[in-house]
Structure 1
């Protein structure tokens, strides 16, 4: 397959700013780009070849979109992973894989992955329901302060809250979550690592992350 020809179709699930930055590169080559996003005014709309408005969490929408392209990727983790798995079985190349996304989509699974592979991470407790957190505090199994994180669908400060007392627990979503030890750290660093199907690895320069102290 020639990845740099008009015969090659790249599908992107999510049409936000990250996708738009990806399109800056694809437009340098003769690559057809397809984008799926629920927002008709998504940033990617003006830069892709084909824009389709649709629900990223709907199985049929994601599956039918993926059948149109040669390689499918995503710029947001909140997409229907079952549809990605079915597309892979049908021969559509999906990067990153549905197997990896299943771990990435759930913060509790992420933390367990770290433990299983001896990767350093902060201490945490896993809860099926947020209501169980108060019981854990009152029983002495959990101590303030800690960071509450929704297990799924959190991003850019959404689904994350520093909890310093019982009042901070009010209004938290009821679903699966983790309570993570509050870590005193100096800097947060990020690095992008890319890997080809053949195993060639490229590491890009490390950058420092900066966050708004309240908006997270």
Structure 2
């Protein structure tokens, strides 16, 4: 096989995931085109060709993808019908449109798990808010929009019957809370040859109000048996989808040590950002390897790592300024990633920092202090 860096790669979405994908693609002398509805998207100044367009519009996606050899995504909310047509025209589309169609709808995604004997939490379909009244026996639970939710949006935590008015009017699911000890994530890659590899299991800690990851700890400190089963489960999920690309599989570890799949994302993911410095191969390079049917990279860790999401201050909206970044950069093992977003708003993902070192407990202590000292204000 001869590697040809002139292959044309198109990415639907121009956010921070696309930006970091481009940064990795540069190492292979690959050029990436992006389309995004934001004229100042993070990818704008890095992409070899940037289109300000609607990734949910059939004609715009078709026109963007037609000159490309390979099309991929950095967000699920895209026009699947256009991707299906591009696939019929002989384009490589990874993840495949059929996978995107299922995963972008949380209801179809959960039903897929049931249909393929993949352990997941109890849930019901909700058509309108008043339907929630019929399922008070499932509380406490999470009400999730079936489509268009992301970064904690489209999720309402409902603990009591008095809180049912917080539910969504649009089609959604009600998902019973799981009594868990840890939330973990496994990122698995698969190429067209069917080769698979998983990244080591990581632990996630969420913001108590915004349902956003605040901290990521790598590697996970859960039992080796659970880690092995989690990696096997992630391989099972991507195999059942027959998917090519990168799949982030978020799971619950229950109090009795069992595993349940919470959600998955068919793309690079927030739970893999630490791999840029913390692993031999980053998730972004691995995604490129997978969609180009190249050998998959070594996923071993270089040491311990903690990732902190940098979120917009809850009281600030406007041109972003960063407090505490200069002090953070003086810490050994610290790596700062800012996403090129000029404007901040409450809880917007503006960047992340990764701490790498030998001792995970020491890194955790440093990370918690950093979380308080770095502020994104206007």
Q: Same fold by TM-score, threshold 0.5 exceeded?
A: yes
Post-superposition offset of 1:112:
0.8
TM-superposition CA deviations, 1:56-108 (whole Å, max 9, x none): 11111111101021100000000001111111001111000000011101111
Query: Following the alignment from structure 1 to structure 2, what is the Cα–Cα distance between the partners of residues 45 and 121?
Result: 38
Aligned equivalent of 2:177, options 175, 182, 191: 182
The secondary structure found in structure 1 opposite 2:44 is helix
Report the counterpart of residue 11 of structure 2 in structure 1. Answer: 12
Pick which of 37-46 and 94-103 moved more.
37-46
CA distance in 1, matches of 2:206, 2:99: 26
1:132-171 deviation per Cα after TM superposition (whole angstroms, max 9, x unaligned): 112x14xx6x432111011111111111111123443325
The whole-number CA distance in structure 2 between the counterparts of 1:103 and 1:109 is: 5
1:35–1:51 contact (8 Å) kept in structure 2: yes
Q: How high is the TM-score relative to the length of structure 1?
A: 0.92
Q: Aligned residue for 1:126? A: 125
> Could you say what the CA RMSD is over the residues aligned between the two structures, in angstroms?
1.6
- Correspondence for 1:150 among 129, 145, 154: 145
- TM-score normalized by the length of structure 2: 0.54
Residue range with higher mean Cα deviation, 164-173 or 144-153: 164-173
- Deviation string for 1:107-143 (max 9, x for gaps)? 1111111111111111111122232112x14xx6x43
| Divergent runs of 4+, >6 A | none
1:49 deviates by 0.5
How many angstroms apart in 2 are the aligned matches of 1:165 and 1:35? 44
Q: Give runs of aligned pairs for residues 196-211 of structure 1, distance below 5 A.
A: 196-211=191-206
Structure 1 residues 3, 72: CA separation in 2 closer, same or farther (over 3 Å shift)? farther
**Paired residue total:** 211
Partner in structure 2 of residue 79 of structure 1: 78
Structure 2: segments with no counterpart, 5+ residues: 212-378
1:46-125 → structure 2 map (5 Å cutoff): 46-125=45-124
In the TM superposition, what whole-angstrom CA distance separates every residue of 1:11-50 from its partner, at most 9, and x where no partner exists? 0001111111111110112212100001111111121111
Question: In structure 2, the residue corresponding to 1:192 is in which secondary structure?
Answer: strand
Q: How far apart are the structure 1 equivalents of 2:106 and 2:162?
A: 24
- Stretches of structure 1 that go unaligned for 5 or more consecutive residues are none
